[in-house]
Amino acid sequence: MAVFRWGQAWDPIRDLEREVDRLLASVSLSFQGIRVGRQYPPVNVYEIEDELLLMAELPGTRPEDLEVLVADGVLTLKGKRSGAEGITDDHYRRQERPRGDWQRSLTLPALIHEDKLTAEFTNGVLRVRLPKAPATVPRQIHVADGNSG
């Protein structure tokens, strides 16, 4: 017995492995990337010697639709994912991939060299390199004796 049906006249693909899973998990049916209460896109951050590397998975985003901005210690990632052109919703048999405009701002630690930040986008993965600024030497502040003179 088919547990899951496309419900349309043409029924060419059945996703066997997920059928039962989906029924069992239908209450918490959520898509990778857009989970309730989660920010999009999810990011990972690595520390590699004197720089930080931020990685974000953004499959299907065109490089021209992706913006990486930095100002006042805040890194802002902005972009959009469009659906297939000329395809209306009633042509979809299954729609799990997130789409639409998104934006996320992340507070950078103070020790980042903002003007030396670089970003590259390959195979749907964004990598932003955040070089650490050298630690500043504490500056001694002379305290004048207010009682003298």
Mask 9-28, x = binds other proteins (CB under 8 A)? -xxxxxxxxx----------
CA–CA dist 129, 55 (Å, integer): 9
Tokens of 128: 């932003």
Q: For residue 131, state whether it binds other proteins (rule: CB under 8 A).
A: no
Place of tokens 């469009």: 82
> Can you tell me which of 3, 20, 23, 59 binds other proteins, judged by CB under 8 A?
59
Please report, as residue ranges, which positions from 61 to 120 form the binding site for other proteins (by CB under 8 A). Answer: 61-63, 75, 83-84, 87, 91-98, 104-109, 111
Q: Is 4 exposed, middle or buried (0-12, 13-18, 19+ CB in 10 A)?
A: middle
Min dist CB 103 to other proteins, Å, is 11
Q: Smaller CB distance to other proteins: residue 94 or 116?
A: 94
Min dist CB 74 to other proteins, Å, is 9
| Region of residue 86 (left: phi > 0; alpha: psi -120 to 50; beta: else) | left
- b/e per residue 90-117 (b: at least 16 CB within 10 A): eeeeeeeeeeeebeeebebeeebeeeeb
Q: For residue 125, state whether it binds other proteins (rule: CB under 8 A).
A: yes
Residue 6: what residue type?
A: W
Min dist CB 121 to other proteins, Å, is 8
Q: Which residues form the interface with other proteins (CB under 8 A)?
A: 10-18, 31-33, 37-39, 42-49, 52-54, 57-63, 75, 83-84, 87, 91-98, 104-109, 111, 121, 123-125
